Structure 1
């Protein structure tokens, strides 16, 4: 099971690099233009993914900052956001690498930002949500990029496993 999550952490880093490289080709106005995604613009969507990752990593590790809301703009500049994204991806990989099977089956207790109810659930399925959430919003980022006339990016896990992630295949 640990290798499954290590693979997803590696995939996450790879997919984020592709999305951020494509975003770097946009004008500032295109980055900020609302395109109907849940968080509006590509810049806001990318900020949200980082915000959510930090919220979850704080719950997992008890370290780092927790933004006050899920629509917080951590960085208004793409290059600063990209640097923060890279650092967070490395943090995620390092943390996952340090997990044990026992930890995966242990309980995680947290309080959601949007609903002050204490929740307890196993870490492993929560990690499934963590990585699925990133994929969900990266899909919105991808849709925004293509709506702006940019070429489609291949972000499929199967493609990753055939290329950069072949060690996991």
Structure 2
């Protein structure tokens, strides 16, 4: 079988063009020149902020991360475990004066207050960012800040009840 018979017929429009596809390494090097890249970081395709059906952006990018952003999950987990322990003990008949309730409430309230403050700070910043774009969305987020404040008062009441018992 001759070479002409084995080779598939190519697109006649490409006849005479000997260009090769760009080297993937060269393309990647161009991406790695981004000054925001750090070793171990995922490469992100920078895209425009998508618009919702009403013509407003779907989100407002966060320009200044909150101080404890990387610790938020860990603080929440400690609060969750302590809260679960205290609530389970109360459901099983323990009193507020028992150590099985007092210790988790006091220990868990500290990271919970920190996590709630962190969340309130992020949401309050988003209120300022959304205000000139969509006041309705800004007011919705302001309602969440008020809700976090009310929940913090409930947690404070539980801590006072545990300490005073």
TM-score for both structures, normalised by structure 2 = 0.34
Q: Which has the higher strand share?
A: 1
TM-score normalized by structure 1? 0.33
Structure of higher CA gyration radius: 2
